[in-house]
């Protein structure tokens, strides 16, 4: 079975432009970036609640602690959110919640257990993992990115960091893998990286 496509910068821009031009732009763009900028699995994105990303003062957390029930293999893990992603989440939530973000008591009671990414049919629980996986397949196809799947963001995240020289041990931690052999299967050697490697000889 072939692995999910690793997206290049041009393809990522195509998807973001598609999101921007269609309904639920802020939500869909943020879901997409959760996989590409934090390496989250689609099931993990679907499982996120507002309390996972928000402090009670309405500010965005710099890391998300996923419980064993929210992630694969029943192993809790911590996901680090880069500043660009934190800013995007905050912008998305300001659009969705507005002034409610400034009221800590409301966040603690009314919104804490709500889905970070609600749907029209189910605003409290949001997407199921399978529904969100199907959405990503649709998103890539509609944006004209051939061969991509719901796992492409995660593979692109790991491969991109590997291309920048990040070691396998660090990649394992960021991906939540328990074996380096699993992490290595995610890394795609691009033609540019191969060319750069032979020029080192």
Mean pLDDT computed over every residue of the chain: 87
- Contact status, residue 160 vs residue 35, Cβ threshold 8 Å: no
pTM of the predicted structure, to 2 decimals? 0.87
pLDDT in tens, 115-146: 899 887 877 788 999 999 999 999 999 999 99
pLDDT digits (tens, 9 = 90+) for 155-197: 999 999 998 888 889 998 898 888 888 888 888 766 666 667 6
Q: Are 96 and 27 in contact (CB under 8 A)?
A: yes
Q: DSSP class of residue 107?
A: I
Enumerate the domain spans of the chain: 9-152
Identify the CATH assignment for 9-152 out of 3.40.50.2300, 3.40.50.1110, 2.40.50.500, 1.10.443.10: 1.10.443.10
- CA dist., res. 143 & res. 13, Å (int): 10
Cβ within 8 Å of residue 72, ≥6 positions away: 41, 43, 44, 176
| Cα separations in angstroms, 16 against 57, 129, 161 | 29, 21, 20
Pairing between β-strand 77-80 and β-strand 63-66 as defined by DSSP bridges: antiparallel
Length of the chain measured in residues: 201
């Amino acid at each position: 079975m072939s692995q999910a496509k690793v997206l290049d910068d041009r393809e990522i821009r195509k998807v973001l432009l598609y999101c921007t031009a269609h309904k639920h732009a802020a939500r869909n763009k943020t879901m997409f970036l959760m996989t590409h900028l934090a390496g989250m699995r689609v099931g993990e994105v679907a499982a996120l609640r507002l309390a996972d990303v928000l402090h009670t003062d309405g500010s965005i957390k710099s890391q998300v602690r996923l419980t064993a029930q929210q992630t694969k293999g029943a192993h809790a893990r911590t996901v680090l959110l880069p500043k660009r992603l934190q800013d995007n989440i905050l912008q998305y939530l300001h659009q969705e919640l507005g002034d409610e973000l400034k009221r800590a008591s409301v966040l603690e009671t009314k919104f804490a257990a709500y889905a970070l990414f609600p749907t029209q049919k189910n605003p409290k629980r949001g997407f199921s993992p399978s529904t969100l996986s199907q959405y990503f397949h649709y998103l890539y196809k509609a944006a004209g990115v051939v061969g991509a799947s719901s796992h492409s963001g995660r593979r692109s995240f790991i491969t991109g960091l590997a291309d920048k020289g990040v070691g396998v041990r660090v990649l394992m931690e960021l991906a939540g893998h328990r074996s380096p052999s699993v992490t290595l299967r995610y890394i795609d050697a691009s033609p540019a990286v191969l060319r750069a490697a032979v020029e080192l000889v």
